[in-house]
């Protein structure tokens, strides 16, 4: 039986102020809960159905508290429209140390990305391309937003995320003599560039792009050309789609 206080806690974790207050975040979905069980995350509460336990073995040491319930009860407390067979409340881990020098390879800076789905997908993309560090502005969406966690499909636990003003990252780039690239509608064609191994790539807000204060520090503007021959064309690409294309080109450039 899932009590009222537990239900209230689960619902409250949809909001950042309560995630901060409780120092906890919510994970839903069998794949991600299983990854959480296999990770170093501290699990405060684990709620599972027999369908989950029939697929995955769990022990009393996997979480501070374990509740076994049925699908009907789990659906009542889930934040998902179509919940699976498990839910976990985890302690927010300590922030990763801010690097003293620019990481090797490509680093991503997210300038005011607001959509949780975009943030989570970008984290997943970075995990796929082996990008270890993602930096984001303080006004970007919270990494531990349940929708971010859901969209990341478990990748959030493998990426070091740093919240910082762009000036802090640009100092590291300057010290490393590494270029700072930014995604713009009027930038240079990405497919015609010689791309370095070590660099910073800035992706802007969904509606407003990269803010002027950050743009001033960008050394190279990039764009993804529109190949459509239609009279009316798509105006732009989703920021997560654009991130995937740009990351792929950077990786292609120094994987030859």
pLDDT at 228: 84
Same domain, 186 and 226: yes
Q: What is the DSSP letter of 60?
A: G
Question: Could you tell me if residue 96 is inside a domain?
Answer: no
Question: Could you tell me if residue 100 is inside a domain?
Answer: no
Question: Could you tell me if residue 147 is inside a domain?
Answer: yes
pLDDT at 256: 64
Helix (H, G, I), strand (E, B) or coil at 121: helix
Same domain, 35 and 159: no
CA-to-CA dists, residue 166 to 89, 123, 131, 180, 187, angstroms = 32, 18, 18, 11, 20
pLDDT at 160: 93
For residue 235, give the CATH number of its domain.
Answer: 3.40.1280.10
Helix (H, G, I), strand (E, B) or coil at 233: coil
Same domain, 247 and 127: yes
Same domain, 132 and 210: yes
Cβ pair 108, 126 in contact under 8 A: yes
Same domain, 45 and 124: no
Which residues constitute the domain of residue 213? 106-254
Question: Could you tell me if residue 123 is inside a domain?
Answer: yes
Q: What is the pTM of this model?
A: 0.92
Where a domain ends, among 57, 91, 125?
91
Same domain, 80 and 18: yes
Closest CA to 214 of 100, 107, 110, 103: 110
- Block mean pLDDT (10 aa), the chain, length 256: 92 96 96 92 96 91 94 93 95 93 97 97 97 96 96 92 96 98 96 95 96 97 91 85 97 81
Question: Could you tell me if residue 99 is inside a domain?
Answer: no
Question: Could you tell me if residue 209 is inside a domain?
Answer: yes
Total residues found in the chain within this entry: 256
Same domain, 135 and 223: yes
* Total number of domains in the chain: 2
Token representation of residue 43: 């699990």
Taking only the tens place, the pLDDT of each residue in 49-79 is 999 999 998 988 899 999 999 999 999 999 9
Where a domain ends, among 91, 114, 142?
91
Same domain, 82 and 121: no
| Crossing angle (nearest 10°) for helices 116-128 and 239-253 | 10
pLDDT at 233: 77
């Amino acid at each position: 039986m899932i009590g009222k206080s537990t239900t209230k806690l689960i619902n409250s974790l949809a909001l950042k102020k309560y995630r901060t207050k409780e120092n906890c975040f919510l994970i839903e979905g069998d794949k991600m809960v299983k990854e959480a069980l296999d990770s170093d995350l501290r699990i405060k509460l684990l709620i599972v159905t027999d369908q989950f336990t029939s697929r995955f073995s769990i022990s009393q040491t996997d979480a501070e508290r374990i509740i076994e319930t049925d699908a009907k009860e789990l659906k009542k407390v889930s934040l998902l429209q179509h919940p699976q067979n498990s839910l976990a409340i985890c302690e927010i881990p300590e922030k990763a140390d801010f690097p003293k020098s620019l990481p090797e390879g490509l680093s991503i800076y997210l300038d005011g990305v607001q959509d949780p789905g975009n943030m989570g997908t970008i984290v997943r993309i970075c995990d796929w391309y082996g990008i270890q560090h993602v930096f984001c502005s303080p006004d970007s969406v919270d990494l531990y937003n349940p929708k971010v966690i859901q969209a990341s499909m478990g990748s959030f636990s493998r990426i070091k995320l740093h919240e910082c003003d762009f000036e802090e990252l640009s100092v590291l780039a300057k010290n490393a003599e590494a270029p700072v690239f930014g995604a713009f509608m009027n930038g240079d064609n990405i497919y015609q560039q010689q791309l370095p191994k070590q660099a910073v790539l800035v992706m802007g807000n969904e509606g407003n792009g990269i803010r002027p204060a950050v743009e001033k520090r960008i050394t190279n503007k990039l764009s993804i050309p529109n190949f459509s021959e239609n009279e009316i064309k798509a105006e732009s690409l989703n920021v997560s789609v654009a991130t995937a294309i740009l990351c792929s080109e950077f990786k292609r450039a120094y994987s030859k």
